[in-house]
Chain A
Amino acid sequence: MFRFQSLDEDCTLEEEDDGGLIEEEDEINQFNDDTFGAGAIDDDWQEEHKRLTGLQGGTGLGAGLGGGGGMGGKSDLGGAFDSSSSHLHSSAGQLPLPPSLTFSLSSSGLPPPDVEDRAGEGGLAESLARLILEADPAITGVGAAAPPPCSSGSSLCALQGLEQPMVLPQPSSIPHLNQLHQHPHHQLPPGPSSGLPPGLPPSSMLSYQQQQHLLRRGTAPMAQMNSHSIWENSMGFGPVSISLGMVTHMEDSPLMSIINEVGLPARPPQGRSDEGRDLSERVPPPRSSSPVIGSPPVRAVPIGTPPTQPMSHALNHQIHHPTAVHVRAPIQHRYPPPFPERLSPNTLLNIANSPLCRGPFPPGVGPVLSQIQRAQLLNSQMAEWARRPPHCPPNHTPPIRHNTTHLHPQHRRMLTQRMQNRGVDRGRTGGDRRSRDPYSNLMSQKEKEWVTKIQMMQLQSTDPYLDDYYYQNYYEKMEKRQERERDSSKKEHTTKLITPQVAKVEHTYRPVQFAGSLGKLTVSSVNNPRKMIDAVVTSRTDDEEKREKQVWNKRRQILYTVEKMYSLLLEVQDFEKRFVQAPEEDREALLEQHKGRTLQLCNALREKEWDDRVSDEQCVMIMSVRKGKRLISRLLPFLPSPQAAAVVMAISRNLPALAKKDKQDQVLCWLVEPVAAVIQSLCSSALTDLLQELQGSEGQLASVLHNKFGVTLLYLILSEGERMQSSDANCQLMDDNRWTELVFSVTRELLSVPPSSLSPPLFTPPNLLSLFSRYVDRQRLELLQDKLQITSLSR
Chain B
Amino acid sequence: MNYVPGTASLIDDIDKKHLVLLRDGRTLIGYLRSIDQFANLVFHQTVERIHVGKKFGDIPRGIFIVRGENVVLLGEIDMDKPSDTVLQQVSIEEILEEQRLQQQSKQETEKVKMLALKDRGLSIPKADNLDEY
| Pairwise interchain contact B33-A402, C-beta atoms closer than 8 A | no
Whether B37 contacts A455 by the Cβ 8 Å rule is yes
Please give me the residue from chain A that is nearest to B79 by CB atom: A433
- A412, A433, A439: the one within 8 Å of B33 (CB): A439
Question: A441 contacts the other chain (Cβ, under 8 Å)?
Answer: yes
Q: Which residue of A lies closest to B37 (CB)?
A: A454
Q: Any chain B CB within 8 A of the CB of A12?
A: no
Does A252 touch B at the CB level, under 8 Å? no
Residues on B with beta carbons closer than 8 Å to the beta carbon of A433: 79
Interface of chain B, helix or strand or loop or mixed?
loop
Q: Are B15 and A440 in contact (CB under 8 A)?
A: yes
> Contact at B15–A455, with CB atoms within 8 Å?
no
If the complex has contacts A306-B36, A439-B33, A451-B37, are A415 and B15 also in contact, measured as CB distance less than 8 A?
no
How far, in whole Å, are A407 and B5 apart by their CA atoms in the complex? 9
Q: Does B11 contact A451, Cβ atoms closer than 8 Å?
A: yes
Contact B4 A439 (CB under 8 A): no
Chain B, residues 1-18, CB within 8 Å of chain A (1/0): the string is 111111101010011000
Enumerate chain B residues within 8 angstroms of A437, measured Cβ to Cβ: 15, 31
CB pair B34–A452 under 8 Å, yes or no, is: no
- Once bound together, how far apart are the Cα atoms of A400 and B34, in whole Å? 20
Instruction: Give CA–CA (A418, B6) in the complex, Å.
Output: 12
**CB proximity of A387 to chain B, nearest CB, Å:** 14
Contact B2–A400 (Cβ < 8 Å): yes
Q: Which residues of B have CB within 8 Å of A412?
A: 5
Partner of A402, one of B3, B37, B80: B3
CA distance A84 to B34 in the complex (A): 58
B12 to chain A, nearest CB (A): 10
> How far, in angstroms, from A306 to B34 measured CA to CA in the complex?
11
Do the beta carbons of B15 and A434 come within 8 Å of each other? yes
Point out the residue from B7, B11, B14 that lies within 8 Å of A459, measured CB to CB.
B7
Chain A residues whose CB sits within 8 angstroms of the CB of B3 once the complex forms = 400, 402, 448-449, 452
Q: Are A442 and B34 in contact (CB under 8 A)?
A: yes
Known: A306-B36, A442-B33, A442-B34. A448 touches B14 (CB 8 A): yes
Q: Which residues of A contact B15 (CB under 8 A)?
A: 434, 437, 439-442
Q: Is A411 an interface residue (CB 8 A)?
A: yes
Which residues of chain A are within 8 angstroms of B9 by Cβ–Cβ distance?
451-452, 455
Q: Does A505 interact with chain B (Cβ within 8 Å)?
A: no
* B22 sits at the interface (CB 8 A): no
B52 at interface by CB-CB < 8 Å: no
Cβ–Cβ < 8 Å partners of A404 in chain B: 5-6
Determine the distance from Cα of A449 to Cα of B11 in the docked complex, in whole angstroms: 9
Nearest CB of chain A from residue B68's CB, rounded to whole Å: 12
CB 8 Å contact bits of B41-71 with A (1 = contact, 0 = none): 0101000000000000000000000000000
Interface: A55 (CB within 8 A): no
Evaluate contact between A451 and B6: CB separation under 8 angstroms.
no
Determine the chain B residues whose CB is within 8 A of the CB of A306 once the complex forms. 36
Q: How far is the CB of B91 from chain A (nearest CB, A)?
A: 27
Interface residue A720 (Cβ < 8 Å from any Cβ of B): no
Contact mask for chain B residues 81-118; partner A; CB cutoff 8 A; 1 contact, 0 none: 00000000000000000000000000000000000000
Nearest A residue to B10 by beta-carbon distance? A451
Contact B34 A443 (CB under 8 A): yes
Q: Does A251 contact B (CB under 8 A)?
A: no
B residues in contact with A451, CB < 8 Å: 9, 11, 35-37
Whether, in the assembled complex, A447 has its beta carbon less than 8 Å from a beta carbon of chain B, the answer is: yes
A449–B3 alpha-carbon span in the complex (Å):
8
Name the residue of chain B whose CB is nearest to the CB of A433.
Answer: B79
**Does A325 have its Cβ within 8 Å of any Cβ on chain B?**
no
User: Which of the residues A411, A439, A454, A459 comes within 8 Å of B44, measured between beta carbons?
Assistant: A439
* A526 contacts the other chain (CB 8 A): no
Q: Give the residues in chain A near B44, CB-CB below 8 Å.
A: 439, 442
CA distance A394 to B59 in the complex (A): 40
Enumerate the 7 nearest inter-chain pairs by beta-carbon distance, A residue then B residue, closest first: A454-B37, A452-B3, A443-B34, A440-B15, A442-B33, A415-B5, A402-B5
Q: Can you list 15 A-B pairs, Cβ within 8 angstroms, ordered by A? A: A306-B36, A411-B6, A415-B6, A437-B15, A437-B31, A440-B15, A442-B33, A443-B34, A447-B34, A448-B11, A449-B3, A451-B11, A452-B9, A456-B4, A459-B4
